[in-house]
């Protein structure tokens, strides 16, 4: 799948970008976060159109149950993705696995552009979930192994900005263009990512050391860092020589390993139960249920603009060195709990009060900067660094699968229970997370 031809092409990219080459690699890798955000938020404008007859390629409006399946099946596939692709990355390489995953977006969006039956939507949404789950598991490993220790935290946290850029594109374009062009754009973008990843990006130094040895690793590090550092290659070789791969059973074989599993999984669950998946998946349908004078499409776009404009918060706060992960998580959870309470109160008590029709928009707009202050990238940063290398594959796979499985019920029940209950449930888990972070959570030394 590579050797001579692949190496020759990424060497050209290294020559072209020079000392900025590692930034190019990170940007290409972070397009997976862009793609994940698109897959998650794609339903917001699309489900509203599929529920009507105009600009509906299916020919007739979908039912509420069909809408809930299209919105939630993504997370069934996402729970499968880590189990399939994390072990595969150990055998076939991080880049090769990402390359396989990158084929899914152009395939699925191309299908969406021309599909005439709703069952194809179900299949494609499951495939997109596999893409999302596999990417979120393998991409952080790929980027972490490409970057040096000094650059890792900052450049990994930039994935948030790519993610919310995808969100902004969906909300800014989706409601206002025909679905065939909307889906066609993402299919073409996906093809570009496949090309850049295949020909412009190398395998990681860790996998190169395992498969090609120290000389090839030094050569690769020279291309990425634009300087020779034999010490880094020695450290990689030492890590691999001492590497032991454990099984799922080993993850629960000791109290220490169980604690690591909890430390890695709980922040992911707190992120998922915060309400972000409901906001991303059903933003426009939620505003359809309100009596606000601004159109639902514009409300969703306003929220997306706030998400993008505040996506710099975590990288900036981390780089300042003034705030610990605990402080950032406490701030996020407290603010998000308040926002969820505001949204729950509106749908329970004030939906028919004209003077309070602005509350849902306010709740979402306030939710976004609180979420962006840390709860978005921090759980993924922790996942990549909490587990020792012997447990990283099985631990990351299980933590990520649990994360996605936890999302399915709330999205599948969206049309079946009152919206106020959904936000009450999210507020409860945010409040539950505060004592966990305050008294139980501990920061890994290398984060």
CA dist., res. 263 & res. 21, Å (int)? 34
How sure is the predictor about 247, in pLDDT bands with cuts at 50, 70 and 90?
low
What is the SS3 assignment for 311? coil
CA dist., res. 78 & res. 132, Å (int)? 6
Domains of the chain, CATH where assigned: 4-203+244-440 (1.20.1250.20)
Place of tokens 């989706």: 174
Question: Is 60 exceeded by the pLDDT of residue 390?
Answer: yes
Instruction: List the one residue out of 170, 155, 191 whose CA is nearest residue 37.
Output: 170
Q: Cβ distance 316 to 204 under 8 Å?
A: no
**Mean pLDDT within 391-398:** 80
**Mean pLDDT within 215-232:** 82
Question: Is 80 exceeded by the pLDDT of residue 6?
Answer: no
User: The pTM is what?
Assistant: 0.82
Whether the CA torsion 168, 173, 179, 180 is positive or negative: it is negative
CA dist., res. 357 & res. 426, Å (int)? 21
pLDDT per residue over 356-379, tens digit each?
888 999 999 999 889 988 788 788
191 or 395, higher pLDDT: 191
pLDDT per residue over 231-246, tens digit each?
878 888 887 777 666 6
Q: Which two tokens stand for residue 335?
A: 């603010």
**Mean pLDDT within 338-348:** 93
77 or 372, higher pLDDT: 77
Lowest mean per-residue pLDDT among 146-160, 222-236, 242-256: 242-256
Q: What is the mean pLDDT of the chain?
A: 86
Looking at residue 113, what DSSP letter applies? H
Question: Is 90 exceeded by the pLDDT of residue 421?
Answer: yes
How sure is the predictor about 197, in pLDDT bands with cuts at 50, 70 and 90?
very high
Give phi and psi for 229, each to the nearest 5: -140, 90
């Amino acid at each position: 799948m590579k050797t001579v031809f692949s190496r020759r092409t990424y060497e050209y990219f290294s020559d072209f970008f020079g000392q900025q080459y590692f930034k190019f690699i990170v940007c290409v890798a972070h397009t997976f976060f862009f793609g994940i955000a698109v897959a998650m938020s794609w339903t917001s404008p699309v489900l509203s159109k599929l529920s009507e007859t105009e600009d509906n390629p299916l020919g007739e409006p979908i039912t509420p149950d069909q809408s809930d399946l299209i919105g939630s099946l993504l997370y069934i596939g996402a729970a499968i993705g880590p189990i399939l692709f994390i072990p595969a990355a150990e055998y076939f390489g991080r880049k090769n696995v990402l390359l396989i995953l990158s084929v899914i977006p152009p395939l699925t969006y191309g299908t969406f552009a021309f599909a005439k039956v709703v069952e194809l939507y179900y299949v494609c949404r499951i495939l997109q979930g596999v893409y999302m789950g596999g990417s979120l598991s393998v991409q952080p490993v790929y980027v972490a192994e490409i970057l040096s220790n000094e650059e890792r935290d900052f450049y990994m946290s930039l994935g948030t900005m790519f993610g919310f850029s995808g969100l902004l594109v969906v909300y800014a374009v989706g409601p206002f263009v025909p679905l065939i062009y909307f889906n066609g754009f993402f299919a073409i973008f996906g093809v570009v990512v496949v090309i850049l990843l295949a020909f412009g990006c190398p395998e990681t130094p860790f996998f190169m050391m395992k498969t090609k040895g120290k000389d090839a690793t030094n050569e690769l590090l020279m291309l990425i860092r634009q300087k020779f550092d034999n010490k880094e290659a020695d450290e990689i070789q030492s890590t691999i020589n001492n590497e032991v791969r454990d099984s799922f059973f080993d993850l629960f074989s000791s109290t220490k390993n169980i604690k690591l599993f909890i430390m890695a999984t709980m922040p992911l669950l707190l992120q998922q139960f915060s309400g972000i998946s409901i906001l991303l998946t059903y933003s426009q349908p939620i505003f359809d249920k309100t009596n606000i004078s601004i159109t639902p499409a514009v409300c969703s776009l306003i929220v997306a603009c706030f998400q993008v404009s505040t996506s710099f918060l975590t990288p900036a706060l981390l780089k300042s060195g003034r705030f610990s992960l605990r402080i950032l998580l406490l701030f996020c959870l407290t603010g998000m709990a308040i926002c969820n309470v505001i949204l729950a109160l509106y749908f329970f008590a004030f939906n028919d009060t004209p003077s309070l029709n602005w509350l849902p928009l306010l709740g979402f707009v306030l939710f976004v900067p609180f979420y962006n202050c840390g709860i978005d990238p921090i759980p993924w940063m922790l996942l990549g660094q909490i587990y020792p290398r012997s447990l990283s594959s099985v631990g990351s796979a299980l933590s990520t699968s649990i994360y996605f499985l936890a999302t399915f019920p709330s999205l599948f029940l969206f049309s079946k229970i009152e919206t106020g209950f959904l936000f009450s449930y999210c507020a409860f888990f945010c409040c539950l997370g505060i004592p966990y972070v305050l008294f139980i959570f501990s920061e890994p030394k290398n984060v």
